[in-house]
Copies of this chain bind each other. A is one copy, B any other.
Amino acid sequence: MNQKPHVAIVGATGAVGVEMIKTLEKRNFPVGKLTLLASARSVGKKMPFRGQDIAVTELTKDSFKGIDIALFSAGGGISKEFAPIAAAAGCVVVDNSSAFRMDESVPLVVPEINASDVKRHKGIIANPNCTTAITLMALYPLHQAFSVKRIFASSYQAVSGTGAKAIEELERQVNQVVSGQTVTKEVYPHQIAFNVLPHVDSFLDSGYTKEEMKMENEGRKIMHHPAFRASVTCVRVPVYRAHSVAVSAEFDRPVTVEAARAVLRKAPGLDVVDAPEKKEYPLPLYAAETYNCQVGRIRMDCAMDNGLCFWVVGDQLLKGAALNAVQIAEVLLK
């Protein structure tokens, strides 16, 4: 690309699409032209970018002619259908869905961890699962220093991870509860307001959800660590934005809190927020709309040797989706 790239966003009106537009602008990504694509339903809707309103056009098989980079976030079905079409048209796709993540020919990238994997792309690069990306932002630097064997993790996932309709569902249900009305459900199978749901993504025969298995599967691929094991419970909580994860990690080499803190303080894209005596620890409410992930509650694990516990929080619409996708696009331009 000798001139500024023509960038397209597929799913431009969704929760992640909106953040992709904002992130391109905020990071001053060298956008030559921006094309916003969505389903027929959203056609004509205008989205602001660099002081202009850009009209959404319909996603079709012909949408990708002349486009250099397409950021996809419109669900796995759309990605499966249109990402290969886009790639065939000479466009490089950064796909936020799970459709291609475990495809051996597709790099799965967190730029702070495995940016060099971008090079081997064949037209499609996958953006990881949000909870996995946020967890790895703290785990990978520790892995480099102490060699991780396995983790036990539980998530506290915000509704915006499900999309814009889930944000509306939490708002609506809270209003219904406050005003004494009957609570209605459209997105989640059970009320999410004033409740927690141990159910994110669909169930596998093993009893795990797909979401829970992404940590091990995607973690192995991103960290180039095929022996990595992860036991995970994923839980949706009534938080609007930013995921939190409680992690117990076992390492091959001895670890101390001080050594871990020193490693984490130097890690890119990560802030150490760990002063419990001052009641300072990462909180999703404060991590919302920030680029960096935050890690805290760092302490020795009291049920394993060479074990460390920590609490990592990140905005899953940003590091878990839009920011990471734009960062991959930035690597492409280097």
Chain A interfacial positions (CB closer than 8 Å to B): 150-152, 154, 156, 174-175, 178, 189-191, 194-199, 203, 206-208, 213, 216, 229-231, 233, 235, 237-240, 244, 246, 248, 257, 276-277, 279, 281-286, 296-304, 307, 309, 311
Contact = CB atoms under 8 A, between A and B. Distances in A.
Contact of A302 (B178, B208, B244, B309): B208
A155 B199 CA distance: 15
Contacts of A152: 152, 231, 248, 303
B309 A233 contact: yes
A233 B281 CA distance: 13
Contacts of A283: 190, 195-198
Given A152-B248, A302-B208, A239 B194 contact: yes
A229 B248 CA distance: 13
Given A189-B279, A230-B302, A239 B195 contact: yes
Given A229-B302, A303-B150, A303-B152, A194 B240 contact: yes
B246 A154 contact: yes
B195 A303 contact: no
A216 to B, nearest CB: 7
Most buried by B among A152, A229, A257, A300: A152
Contacts of A284: 195-196
Closest 10 CB pairs of A and B: A207-B299, A154-B154, A231-B303, A152-B152, A233-B246, A195-B285, A229-B303, A203-B276, A150-B303, A154-B246
B303 A199 contact: no
B231 A307 contact: yes
A235 B246 contact: yes
Nearest to A209: B276
Nearest to A274: B207
A235 to B, nearest CB: 7
A253 B178 CA distance: 49
Given A151-B303, A178-B174, A302-B230, A156 B285 contact: no
Given A174-B174, A235-B246, A285-B191, A299 B154 contact: no
Most buried by B among A150, A203, A282: A203
Contact of A279 (B199, B257, B276, B279): B199
12 contacts: A150-B304, A152-B303, A156-B156, A195-B285, A196-B237, A198-B311, A199-B281, A203-B276, A230-B302, A231-B248, A231-B309, A235-B244
A216 B302 contact: yes
Contacts of A300: 206-207
Contacts of A286: 190
Contacts of A213: 302
A198 B194 CA distance: 17
Contacts of A207: 257, 276, 297-300, 309
A284 B194 CA distance: 9
Nearest to A156: B196
